[in-house]
């Protein structure tokens, strides 16, 4: 049987970020190749048959990214990005979250189906400097690559860009039986794609680089490494790709147009493997792929590119032949008939004018209510056709959804699994199937992080029908802003925040 190999990026070319006036092309600095940093695994403080205990610290650090001065960076229990955190399906996770940063932060579990707003870790769950918070939650979802990032709106973009983003690997018994590489650090590695602009003395300057449509930089940074190489010692390599950039889309392909196979999307293994030569990813999406180097020999090099820019050099070494065949069917994706009428969500605007359903985000406003364990179709539109418009990656907290259609057509071939981010082309209607299994207040927003901070975000209250009017203690902007002003020793009116600035330009009060 010959399998179908997809060779295009699927998305509307006219809306690629390359057409954006603020687009910054990538360019690898002329420095020697560095070994790709692999996030260390975070060691549990304790693990039993039913529970896992972790301590995690948001901290400042310094990282040797370029020759010369180290760059001041932030990370989760690491100087930059974070340690990789393993969570097993069915177990209860106990997290002791500490903040050693000079400012307030939050710990958001992007992709975990856990209650909100506190465990979920959005803007309603601050941890103040020198403070801590203890949370616990049970994992009830399939194996996937999800992630942890800071989320103190409207400072999310700034803090993620400082480095607060870490991979989280959910494991389960179904994935464990599939013939995938899973020797972490050897043939199973995360690949966090980001871009930065280095200023004087190798430092980053968010304010100087600020763009309300998303901060970009010319230098690709992969797992916190500039110009990386990776030593390949196995025939097959599994890459857990995360677009961890604030704004950038990556159009990925290998040298020789090497074929690769996608096995997982945001929140789980795909029902069937999908074969590609080209793959586009937008902000916050995850794509697990397997690359087979059987046609290469020791000494060869295979390069992963985005457009024409080399991102990672894979140096091929001796490896044992591997004849593993992937099954044609990998996992079953549960399906549900809708119980509720269609719900529409409109993403509109660019720059400071971004909105959801014609409104800017308000922390104390609940924009929509929905019961747990009911299924609803959501029709997500991007009305943005100014100059070809831009692709908005729509994200929901607290659940994984499935994609029903794009403008009435079938979703892209690698969108048949569980997702929590869906890139919506301008003028497109994407229909998704939404079903929450945990109650709480959750955000949904564009994952161009400056758009989220700029107000392209809304909140849903997901209720247990036994307690439809449950009251949540929701944080307000005023309190958050006061905290930031105090921590920075400035007057509230002199506080500079990207997202906050956007609100002001719109004449909105916080
Ligand atoms: Cu990555 Cu509000 O999330
Ligand atoms: Cu999220
Ligand atoms: Cu957007």
Q: Is residue 456 part of a domain?
A: yes
The residues near 464 (Cβ < 8 Å, ≥ 6 apart) are 371, 372, 439, 470
Q: Assign residue 466 a region: left if phi > 0, alpha if psi is -120 to 50, beta otherwise?
A: alpha
What are the start-end ranges of the E strands in 357-491?
A: 368-371, 376-382, 392-396, 402-406, 421-424, 429-434, 440-446, 457-463
Q: Is residue 321 part of a domain?
A: no
Same domain assignment for residues 242 and 147 = no
CA 430, CA 364: separation in Å to the nearest integer? Answer: 28
How far apart are the CA of 121 and the centre of ligand 1, in A? Answer: 9
pLDDT at site 385: 72
The closest residue, in CA terms, to atom 3 on ligand 1 is 110
Ligand 1 site residues, Cβ closer than 6 angstroms = 108, 110, 149, 151, 284, 395, 397, 443, 445, 447
| Ligand sitting nearest the alpha carbon of 166 | 1
Q: Assign residue 486 a region: left if phi > 0, alpha if psi is -120 to 50, beta otherwise?
A: alpha
CA nearest to 91, candidates 63, 52, 148, 123: 52
Same domain assignment for residues 372 and 473 = yes
How far apart are the CA of 175 and the centre of ligand 1, in A? Answer: 25
Can you tell me which atom of ligand 1 is nearest the CA of 444? 2
Q: For the chain, percent helix, then strand, then coil, each to nearest 5? A: 15, 40, 50
The residues near 427 (Cβ < 8 Å, ≥ 6 apart) are 382, 383, 384, 385, 389
CA 96, CA 220: separation in Å to the nearest integer? Answer: 32
pLDDT at site 498: 60
pLDDT at site 483: 86
Domain limits for position 133: 29-173
CB hemisphere CA count around 447 (13 angstroms): 26
Same domain assignment for residues 86 and 199 = no
The closest residue, in CA terms, to atom 1 on ligand 1 is 110
How far apart are the CA of 493 and the centre of ligand 1, in A? Answer: 27
| Ligand sitting nearest the alpha carbon of 392 | 3
CA 445, CA 361: separation in Å to the nearest integer? Answer: 9
Q: Is residue 132 part of a domain?
A: yes
Q: Is residue 182 part of a domain?
A: no
Q: How many independent structural domains does the chain possess? A: 3
How far apart are the CA of 478 and the centre of ligand 2, in A? Answer: 23
pLDDT at site 500: 52
pLDDT beneath 70, residues of the chain: 1-2, 497-510
Same domain assignment for residues 345 and 473 = yes
| Ligand sitting nearest the alpha carbon of 123 | 1
| Ligand sitting nearest the alpha carbon of 149 | 1
How far apart are the CA of 136 and the centre of ligand 3, in A? Answer: 32
**Is beta strand 51-63 parallel, antiparallel or unpaired with respect to 92-99?**
parallel
How far apart are the CA of 113 and the centre of ligand 2, in A? Answer: 10
Q: Is residue 11 part of a domain?
A: no
How many CB atoms within 10 Å of residue 3? 12
How far apart are the CA of 380 and the centre of ligand 3, in A? Answer: 12
Can you tell me which atom of ligand 1 is nearest the CA of 151? 2
pLDDT at site 506: 46
Same domain assignment for residues 39 and 169 = yes
Domain boundary among 284, 316, 348: 316
Is residue 452 within a helix (H) or strand (E), and if so which, with residue range?
helix 449-453
CB distance 285 to 423 below 8 Å = yes
Same domain assignment for residues 243 and 168 = no
| Ligand sitting nearest the alpha carbon of 164 | 1
Same domain assignment for residues 168 and 234 = no
Residue 137 belongs to a domain with what CATH number? 2.60.40.420
Q: Is residue 257 part of a domain?
A: yes
How far apart are the CA of 15 and the centre of ligand 3, in A? Answer: 12
Which tokens go with 397? 């907290």
Same domain assignment for residues 162 and 202 = no
| Ligand sitting nearest the alpha carbon of 110 | 2
CA 110, CA 495: separation in Å to the nearest integer? Answer: 28
CA 85, CA 213: separation in Å to the nearest integer? Answer: 31
How far apart are the CA of 138 and the centre of ligand 3, in A? Answer: 31
* The three-state (H, E, C) secondary structure of 249-304, written as one string: CEEEEEHHHCCEEEEEECCEEEEEEEEECEEEECCCCEEEEEEECCCCCCCCEEEE
Q: Assign residue 168 a region: left if phi > 0, alpha if psi is -120 to 50, beta otherwise?
A: beta
Name the phi and psi angles at 174, rounded to 5.
-70, -50
DSSP string for 294-350: TT--TT-EEEEEETTEEEEEEEE-----------S---PPP-----EEEEEEEEE-S
CA 41, CA 441: separation in Å to the nearest integer? Answer: 30
pLDDT at site 510: 40
How many CB atoms within 10 Å of residue 469? 7
pLDDT at site 489: 87
Same domain assignment for residues 421 and 378 = yes
Can you tell me which atom of ligand 1 is nearest the CA of 421? 1
How far apart are the CA of 455 and the centre of ligand 3, in A? Answer: 10
Q: Is residue 157 part of a domain?
A: yes
Can you tell me which atom of ligand 1 is nearest the CA of 111? 1
Q: Is residue 158 part of a domain?
A: yes
Single pTM value for the model: 0.96
Same domain assignment for residues 296 and 396 = no
The two most distant CA atoms of the chain are separated, in Å, by 68
Same domain assignment for residues 351 and 470 = yes
Which tokens go with 470? 């449950």
Which tokens go with 229? 């190489």
Same domain assignment for residues 244 and 365 = no
Domain boundary among 173, 199, 221: 173
DSSP string for 170-197: EE-HHHHTS-----BTTTEEEEEEEEE-
Supply the DSSP symbol for 414: G
The residues near 174 (Cβ < 8 Å, ≥ 6 apart) are 142, 143, 269, 331
């Amino acid at each position: 049987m010959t399998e179908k190999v997809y060779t295009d990026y699927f998305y509307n070319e006219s809306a690629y970020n390359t057409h954006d006036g603020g687009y910054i092309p990538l360019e690898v600095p002329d420095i020697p190749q560095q070994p790709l940093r692999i996030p260390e695994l975070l060691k549990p403080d304790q693990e039993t048959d039913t529970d896992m205990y972790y301590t995690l610290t948001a901290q400042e650090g310094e990282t040797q990214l370029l020759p010369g001065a180290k760059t001041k960076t932030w990370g989760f229990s690491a100087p930059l990005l974070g340690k990789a955190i393993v969570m097993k399906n069915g177990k209860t996770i106990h997290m002791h979250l500490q903040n050693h940063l000079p400012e307030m932060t939050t710990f958001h579990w992007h992709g975990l189906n856990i209650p909100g707003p506190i465990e979920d870790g959005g803007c309603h769950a601050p941890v103040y400097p020198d403070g801590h918070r203890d949370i616990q939650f049970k994992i009830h979802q399939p194996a996937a690559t999800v992630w942890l990032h800071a989320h103190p709106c409207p400072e999310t973009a700034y803090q993620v860009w400082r480095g607060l983003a870490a991979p989280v690997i959910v494991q389960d018994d179904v994935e464990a039986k599939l013939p995938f590489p899973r020797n972490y650090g050897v043939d199973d590695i995360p690949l966090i794609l980001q871009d930065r602009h280095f200023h004087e003395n190798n430092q980053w300057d968010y304010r100087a680089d600020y763009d309300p449509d998303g901060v970009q930089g010319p230098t690709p940074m992969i797992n916190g490494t500039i110009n990386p190489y990776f030593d390949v010692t196995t025939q097959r390599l599994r890459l857990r790709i995360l677009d961890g950039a604030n704004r950038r889309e990556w159009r990925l392909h290998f040298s020789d147009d090497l074929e690769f196979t996608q096995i997982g999307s945001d929140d789980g293994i795909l029902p069937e493997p999908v074969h590609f030569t080209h793959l586009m990813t937008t902000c916050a999406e995850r794509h697990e792929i397997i690359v087979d180097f059987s046609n290469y020999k020791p000494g060869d090099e295979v390069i992963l590119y985005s457009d024409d820019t080399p991102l990672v050099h894979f140096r091929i070494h001796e490896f044992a032949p591997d004849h593993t065949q992937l099954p044609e069917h990998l996992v079953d994706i549960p399906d549900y008939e809708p119980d509720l009428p269609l719900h529409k969500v409109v993403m509109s605007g660019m720059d400071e004018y971004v909105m959801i359903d014609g409104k800017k985000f308000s922390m104390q406003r609940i924009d929509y209510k929905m019961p747990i364990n009911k299924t609803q179709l959501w029709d997500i539109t991007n009305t943005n056709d100014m100059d070809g418009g831009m692709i908005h990656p729509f994200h929901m907290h607290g659940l994984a959804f499935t994609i029903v259609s794009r403008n009435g057509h079938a979703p892209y071939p690698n969108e048949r699994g569980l997702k929590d981010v869906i890139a919506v082309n301008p003028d497109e209607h994407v229909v998704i199937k939404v079903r929450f299994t945990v109650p709480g207040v959750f955000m949904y927003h564009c994952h161009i992080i400056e758009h989220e901070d700029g107000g392209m975000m809304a909140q849903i209250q997901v209720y247990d029908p036994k307690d439809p009017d449950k009251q949540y203690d929701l944080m307000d902007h005023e309190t958050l802003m006061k905290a930031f002003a105090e921590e920075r020793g400035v007057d509230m009116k002199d506080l500079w925040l990207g997202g906050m600035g956007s609100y002001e330009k719109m004449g909105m009060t916080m």
